[in-house]
Amino acid sequence: MNIYRHIHKAPLRVFRISRRRFWLRVKFDMLVVQEALSQEKKETKEMLVIYKRHTRKQASRDELTEANKQFADLIKGLGLGVFAVLPFAPLTIPLVLKLGRSVGVDVLPSSFHNMSELKANVRRTSTSRKRIKANHSPK
């Protein structure tokens, strides 16, 4: 009887573990996207400051070219935002990325190019947060 109960409960346990693993992966991927978007936000603020200084003739050519690159990234992000609103977005966005890659057009903003570095950075910060919580938890 004990063997029957173990065999019967094993698929449920596997299902629970796989479901938990899936949601942890989704949370981790969302943290990576949040990190990329925060970097994009910071770069956009710098771009606006440079354009403001350019109106007063205080910005150099190099700063202006960097601001223009960031403006192009901003337009790329807005273009992907249009596809995010459309129905079947989980299908259309990867399709647009694949099509752009095959044609040779860069569709993603620059902050999303180094996703492996972002994942490593998020992993480091999440483990350091866990250590901080563990050190400050009441005993």
pLDDT digits (tens, 9 = 90+) for 38-70: 888 999 999 999 999 999 999 999 999 999 999
Average model confidence (pLDDT) across the chain: 82
Choice between 39 and 129, residue whose per-residue pLDDT is larger: 39
Residue in 13, 45, 17, 39 with CA at minimum distance from that of residue 122: 39
Distance between CA atoms of residues 46 and 40, nearest Å: 10
Q: Is the pLDDT reported for residue 138 higher than 60?
A: no
Identity at 47, one-letter amino acid code = M
Q: Transcribe 61-115 into DSSP letters.
A: HHHHHHHHHHHHHHHHHHHHHHHHHSTTHHHHHHHHHHHHHHHT---S-GGGTTH
How many CA atoms lie less than 13 Å away from 16 in the CB half-sphere? 5
User: Is residue 113 over pLDDT 80?
Assistant: no
Pick from 23-37, 48-62, 88-102, 116-130 the range whose average pLDDT is largest: 48-62
The residue extents of the domains of the chain are 32-136
pLDDT at residue 78 tops 70 = yes
Check residue 82 and give its pLDDT.
Answer: 83
**pTM, whole model, 2 decimals?**
0.66
Amino acid at 22: F
